[in-house]
Amino acid sequence: MDHQQEPSVRHFDHCPWLFAQEATEEQLRVQRKRQQSIGGDSHIGERCYVAESAAVFPDLLRLGDDSYIAAQAYVTGELTTGTDCTLNPFTTVRGTVVLGDGVRIGAHTSLLGFNHSFAPDRPVFRQPHTSEGIRVGDDVWIGSHVIVVDGVTIGDHCVIGAGAVVTKDLPAWTVAAGNPARPLRDRRDTPVTPTPRSALARFADTARAQAGDLLARCWDGERYVDRPGAAPTVRAHCDAVEIADLLLGSAPGQLAGDEHVRRLAALQDPDTGLVPEWGEPLPSADGDGFIGEGAALYHVLSAGYALDLLGASFPHPVRGVREMTARQLLVRLEGLPWHDGAWEAGAWIDAWATAAHWNLRNGGQHGGAVEALFGWLLSRADPWTGMWGDPSPEDGRLQVVNGYYRLTRGSFAQFGLPVPHPERVVDAVLDHARDPRHFGGGRENACNVLDVAHPLWLCTRQLGNGAAGGGYRTADIRAWAERQLAAALPRWQDGKGFGFGPGGPGPQPGLQGTEMWLAIIWYLADLLGRSDELGYRPRGVHRPEPARSGLRR
């Protein structure tokens, strides 16, 4: 190895988390060769790193995706890890050791999954080895200079303090330290600093006082625009109706109530029942069960609920949904892009189920298709996450979680039915909410925060969690809601409302960002048991209550 390469290798050995982003093609090639040279029965996942200076001599090695073994680590025996696991410098892992997903092992820590016998009939060095193995759950942080002895199981979400000696099993969520390690507390009991109780009421008073100016700002004299200078859109008109209903309890003042109804109802195509964008033709039908795409697909929700808030409804059924048989629906569900487009799949189901709701409310029949939808969803939910679709290396669970919100909003939430595996959903959503690619450092946008807040709200209500405490992961949920609420309230811009945030329509304040963040703030506040301080409750697209009860036809 030449003089110029050696410092880089040493750098990656001690900082392996940088390798996937910073390695040259030559360094990637050398690392592949290093991984291939490991003996025993070994399989190493994607974007992993094994330090050149690590002594890795396994009988069996299964290193999950995005995991690494850092400088001077010593690994023998049988090691199996999940994804995102880290063995930091000078760690020792011997014997039979199984790690879950997201396990962090601090420097100079030893996991010793074997032991000597020490009967008095022979010297210790002649005693046979025994091995019960060590098992570590998901989302566990083991600090530096810790020793974990053979036979120990460490439950999910535990934190082990530096220097501890773990000789007994630790249940999930335990924070432990000492020699021998002793449980100190439950990790879910982490205290958070609450937002002052008056802040929510002050915010709501400000928003109500400025709602009229905000709506007038987005009226171009004939139609609504998301923000000054933007083109008029159907969604902007619908967002204006939602904001006025939420904050003022009335229709937007730029038009009389019956004129709002007339304009929105007249947009619906009488043949398909779909609502195109202003001045644009409907997209071409794509076969049986066509319910639009792009803006027309979302207008099933936004225009339908805007008319509902105005005391009216679509004048025509959504024909593609009315005429779709249960068999045709099942074929369409199987063909949705669950592998690489879970959000798109969830959005389609949201629109289909919402169209079915409008049709049923107006006396339509669906020949078992709605029941087929729920049967298919219940049978396809992943029992480990409660969700549908696959994560990706680029975005993590973003598509899956955002698709989950859209899917369940239109189906389970709208029809008042329980979601499958709610505890697993809470785990998956909270894990996603820690992803720095989408949360923290000003990277949050309205979609991503809403798509965490609503599933948490939906699942905690189903599980019977109390806002004041108790219930599944209540402390974690409350801590997340407190942080998001404290960040959201200052984003209000006087007379202009909220910007959506990075992505979408962008950070400039407008109707879409305002409508969504008003709903988000309600959900965050309600997760904390404080939504009554706002004096409003969403009744449109983002309503918390079901729009229907069950599957009565």
Q: CB-hemisphere CA count at 13 Å for 135?
A: 10
Q: What's the token pair of residue 314?
A: 């679509």
| Alpha-carbon gap, residue 85 to 101, rounded angstroms | 6
- Mean pLDDT across 108-115: 92
User: What pLDDT is attached to residue 11?
Assistant: 76
Look at 100-114, 189-203, 225-239, 270-284 and tell me which has the smallest mean pLDDT: 189-203
pLDDT in tens, 246-292: 999 999 999 999 999 999 999 999 999 999 998 888 776 655 566 77
| The overall pTM is greater than 0.75 | no
- Mean pLDDT across 182-207: 81
pLDDT in tens, 335-383: 999 999 999 999 999 999 999 999 998 887 777 999 999 999 999 999 9
- Mean pLDDT across 491-514: 95
Decide if pLDDT at 9 tops 70.
no
Query: Which residues are catalytic, by number?
Result: 116
State how beta strands 174-177 and 182-186 pair.
antiparallel
User: What pLDDT is attached to residue 56?
Assistant: 95
User: What pLDDT is attached to residue 194?
Assistant: 65
Look at 326-340, 351-365, 413-427, 442-456 and tell me which has the smallest mean pLDDT: 351-365
Q: At what angle do helices 257-266 and 234-248 cross, to 10 degrees?
A: 150
pLDDT band (50, 70, 90) for residue 118: confident
Decide if pLDDT at 5 tops 80.
no
**Residues belonging to the chain:** 553
State how beta strands 92-99 and 110-113 pair.
parallel
Decide if pLDDT at 302 tops 80.
yes
**What does pLDDT average to over the chain?**
90
pLDDT in tens, 460-497: 999 986 444 457 899 899 999 999 999 999 999 999 99
Decide if pLDDT at 44 tops 70.
yes
| Alpha-carbon gap, residue 23 to 19, rounded angstroms | 5
